[in-house]
Amino acid sequence: GESVGLHLPTLSVQEGDNSIINCAYSNSASDYFIWYKQESGKGPQFIIDIRSNMDKRQGQRVTVLLNKTVKHLSLQIAATQPGDSAVYFCAENGGTSYGKLTFGQGTILTVHP
Amino acid sequence: EPEVTQTPSHQVTQMGQEVILRCVPISNHLYFYWYRQILGQKVEFLVSFYNNEISEKSEIFDDQFSVERPDGSNFTLKIRSTKLEDSAMYFCASRELPGLAGNEQFFGPGTRLTVL
């Protein structure tokens, strides 16, 4: 069956460090991937997305890398700040046009001042 | 900035009771979704809705669940006879355009449903 999973459930970093959060997916039909940030008691907040025709996409302090060969997705956060502490989920669309998203388990990122 | 809103923020109900969770999607969006998240677990897709009908639903979305867009602004999720295992955070999401991969879904803050 299709699934999206994460290698590491928790990640602790010092403020100012770069963070890398990884995600593996199994549905080769997926052509759209998103990273969401979820703070306690809130809904998922969009961070960055990438389509399958791209390998890399950069935003403000964030970069998403997509390796379709090994079905791997990563989120890089530069100069991590305490406000980045949250749970990070990757999600994929399974190649559907209706937009159903399949989420991974989530990684807890803790940034220490 | 436009946002998805949900009410109530917390709903407590007795097992077997009906609940209606309400959402107001972003006004120019055409695709609507419900997801749920059991405490400590990942977000799970329930149903997608477009052009006044369900476009896709998951195995979780059984006959006890229904969705409705009763007017031009609200999007509701009804659970007819709640079970203990329905306790979760329920998130509404909306998307602007259909049929395009890569179109961001905006999520609401969620409704925490507690079934006693």
| B32-65 pLDDT, tens digit each | 999 999 988 889 999 999 989 999 999 999 999 9
Q: Across all residues in chain B, what is the average pLDDT?
A: 92
Q: How many residues does chain B have?
A: 116
DSSP characters for B56-113? EE-TT--TTEEEE--SSS-EEEEESS--GGG-EEEEEEEES-SS-TT-PEEE---EEE
Average pLDDT, stretch B21-30? 93
Determine, for residues B106 and A32 on separate chains, whether the beta-carbon distance falls below 8 Å. Answer: no
pLDDT of residue A5 exceeding 80: no
| Burial class of residue B64 in the structure, from the number of CB atoms within 10 Å of its CB (0-12 exposed, 13-18 middle, 19+ buried) | middle
Please tell me the distance from the alpha carbon of residue B106 to that of residue B57, in angstroms, as a whole number: 19
What letter does residue A83 receive in the DSSP assignment?
A: G
Q: Across all residues in chain A, what is the average pLDDT?
A: 89
How far lies B109's CA from each of A19, B47, B76, B101, in Å?
26, 17, 15, 24
Measure A81 CA to nearest chain B CA, in Å. 23
Choose the closest CB to A43 out of B98, B100, B108: B108
Q: Which of residues 45-104 of B touch A (CB under 8 A)?
A: 45, 48, 50, 55-56, 58, 91, 93, 95, 98-104
Chain A interface mutation, best of B6, B36, B42, highest count of A Cβ atoms under 10 Å: B42
pLDDT of residue A41 exceeding 50: yes
A2-17 burial, b at 16+ Cβ within 10 Å, e below that, comes to eebebeeeebebeeee
For the record, the structure tokens of B68 come out as 């409705």
| Amino acid B98: pLDDT | 62
| Burial class of residue B116 in the structure, from the number of CB atoms within 10 Å of its CB (0-12 exposed, 13-18 middle, 19+ buried) | exposed
| Amino acid B70: pLDDT | 87
A/B interface, count of CB pairs below 8 Å: 72
| A47-86 pLDDT, tens digit each | 999 999 999 999 999 999 999 999 999 999 999 999 999 9
| A80-113 pLDDT, tens digit each | 999 999 999 999 988 876 778 999 888 999 999 9
Question: Do strands B53-57 and B65-68 pair parallel, antiparallel, or not at all (unpaired)?
Answer: unpaired
Residues of B with Cβ-Cβ distance to A95 under 8 angstroms: 101
| Amino acid A9: pLDDT | 81
Determine, for residues B105 and A105 on separate chains, whether the beta-carbon distance falls below 8 Å. Answer: no
* Confidence band, pLDDT 50/70/90 cuts, at residue A4: low
Question: Which residues does residue A110 pair with via DSSP β-bridges, in sequence order?
Answer: A12
* Confidence band, pLDDT 50/70/90 cuts, at residue A1: very low
pLDDT of residue A18 exceeding 90: yes
| Amino acid B42: pLDDT | 87
